[in-house]
Amino acid sequence: MNARRLLTSTIDPAGIFFGSSLIVIWTISLLLLLNWSLDYSNPLTYLAIYLQTHLYTGLFITSHDAMHGSVSRNRKLNDFIGTVTSLLFAFNFYDKLIVKHHEHHRHVATEDDPDYHESGKFWLWYWNFLKRYITWQQLVLITVSLQLLALIFPMENLILYWVIPSILSTFQLFYFGTYIPHKDGHKTGNKHKSRSLDKNHFLAFFSCYFFGYHYEHHDAPGLPWWRLWQMKT
């Protein structure tokens, strides 16, 4: 579909529905899993970790869409959903994330890009990525929250279904949304210095909510994740 037509099509109420649904599903899923009897011999235990990781990623993707104003055309509602999903994603602060993210779009794959690391080395880049985005305030809030939640829920469940999925989600977002698209970005030969996954909507959704279609995202940053697949040719 034509990018202009997609960008001018209304996003309300679908954007609000998708954003709110992810918040509700993540919350219900987490509460159920925190009360679930653990059985490490049961494959569902590990499937649940993956599903909770995917939902965590969905929270950040919703926050990311809000940074581009593509959750709702109502600015206050858009920013409110962005703020809530950012906080649920390991106590990130929306007002700080939005500044860094727009710097990334303005200076993609350059020394002024906060998401880029010129070494191209995965673990060095990932470590630098974490250092730029994780704050001491977050670590304090996570630590205090974990101790308080442990008064209500088993610590083992908290680690498996709250802590580990949040860590895996950062890895998922980094790998599919930063490292693969922007590795050697200056060598891509295109204006956005970005690569995309091959066209496979099933893989693109379950890997990172179509965020692997990254050239398409930079070409039309105002498109929400649930429309991004339509840009892939």
pLDDT (tens, 9 = 90+) of the chain, 233 residues, equals 556 566 567 788 999 999 999 999 999 999 999 999 999 999 999 999 999 999 999 999 999 999 999 999 999 999 999 999 999 999 999 999 999 999 999 999 888 999 998 888 999 999 999 999 999 999 999 999 999 999 999 999 999 999 999 999 999 999 999 999 998 766 667 888 898 989 999 999 999 999 999 999 999 999 999 999 988 87
Q: How many domains does the chain have?
A: 1
For residue 227, give Cα distances in angstroms to 35, 53, 63, 130, 167. Answer: 35, 22, 16, 28, 27
Interhelix angle 43-67/14-34, rounded to 10 degrees, is 150
Residue 66: give the domain boundaries.
Answer: 3-231
Q: How many CB atoms lie within 10 A of CB 135?
A: 14
Whole-model pTM above 0.85?
yes
**Residues across the chain:** 233
Q: How many CB atoms lie within 10 A of CB 172?
A: 21
